[in-house]
Each structure stands twice: as structure tokens, then as C-alpha cells.
């Protein structure tokens, strides 16, 4: 994917985020921030009877990378078991974002929503 197309995709997710809002009731409800750059996310998720993610939403504020990553992640998480989410890492996020290799300064931004999801699943007792 060309960098222009990648940039366009990120900006589209930033300006028109998927799954933006708050789920109520939610099995997972967590707020997390990245003090380095001020990104903040509030992530809520509902699990189905088998413990898989049935729905996930987020709200927050931050840079294009953190908000676009959160939007893309919420689309990718539906149907996943907590263990599958726990195995996800930077490579998965970079792949979701068009295969780009993020600079060290942007890794924390891109990983904020995934880290929040993992911590939220731990807090809800769904991950060890």
C-alpha cells in the first residue's frame, strides 16, 4: 500500500471513527492514557456467552495514529476470544494500519487501545 493511501486510510478513521461511543452495559470498561503525548482512551466492550468480544466501542482524544488505531482495532476485535486478543501485539497493529512500520515515538500511540483492551479484559477477570 502506498504511503499516501495509508495516510488517507488513517485520516479517514481519525475523522470518521468506527465504533465511537460507549457501550452500556459493558463487561469491559477501562480508561487509559499515554502521558507521553496526552492521548486518552475510554474503551468499553461486551462479551458473548462464550466470552468472545461481541461488541466494542471507544471514545477519547489523541493524535491521528492513536485514534485511527483504536477505530481499526474495534473493527478487528469483534469475535475474538480474550486469549486471541492477549496474543496480539505491535505487528498486528502495524498490519491493521496498512503494514507501516511505526517510529518509536508512535508505537505507544498505536498500542494504547490494544493495551487498554488487554488491561480491561484482565480487570474483568477474563485474562490471567
Name the β-bridge partners of 31: 42
pLDDT tens sequence for the chain (128 residues): 456 777 888 999 999 999 999 999 999 999 999 988 899 999 999 999 999 999 999 999 999 999 999 999 999 999 999 999 999 999 999 999 988 889 988 999 999 999 999 999 999 999 98
What does the pLDDT read at residue 55?
98
pLDDT given at position 2 = 59
DSSP letter assigned to residue 103: P
Q: Which domains does the chain have, with CATH numbers?
A: 3-123 (3.90.1010.10)
Burial class (CB within 10 angstroms; exposed 0-12, middle 13-18, buried 19+) of 91: exposed
- What are the cell numbers at 76? 478487528
Distance of CA 102 to the CA centre of its chain: 16
Residue pair 68/14 in contact (Cβ under 8 Å)? The answer is yes
The 8-class DSSP code of residue 100 comes to: P
Q: How many CB atoms are located within 10 Å of the residue 82 CB?
A: 23
Amino acid at each position: 500500500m502506498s504511503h499516501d493511501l495509508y495516510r488517507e486510510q488513517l485520516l479517514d478513521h481519525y475523522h470518521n471513527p468506527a465504533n465511537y461511543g460507549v457501550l452500556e452495559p459493558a463487561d469491559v470498561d477501562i480508561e487509559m492514557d499515554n502521558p507521553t503525548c496526552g492521548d486518552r482512551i475510554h474503551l468499553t466492550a461486551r462479551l458473548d456467552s462464550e466470552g468472545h468480544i461481541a461488541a466494542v466501542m471507544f471514545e477519547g482524544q489523541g493524535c491521528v495514529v492513536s485514534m485511527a488505531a483504536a477505530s481499526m482495532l474495534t473493527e478487528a476485535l469483534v469475535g475474538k476470544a480474550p486469549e486471541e486478543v492477549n496474543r496480539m501485539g505491535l505487528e498486528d497493529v502495524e498490519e491493521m494500519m496498512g503494514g507501516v512500520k511505526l517510529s518509536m515515538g508512535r508505537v505507544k500511540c498505536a498500542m494504547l487501545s490494544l493495551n487498554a483492551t488487554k488491561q480491561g479484559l484482565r480487570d474483568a477477570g477474563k485474562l490471567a
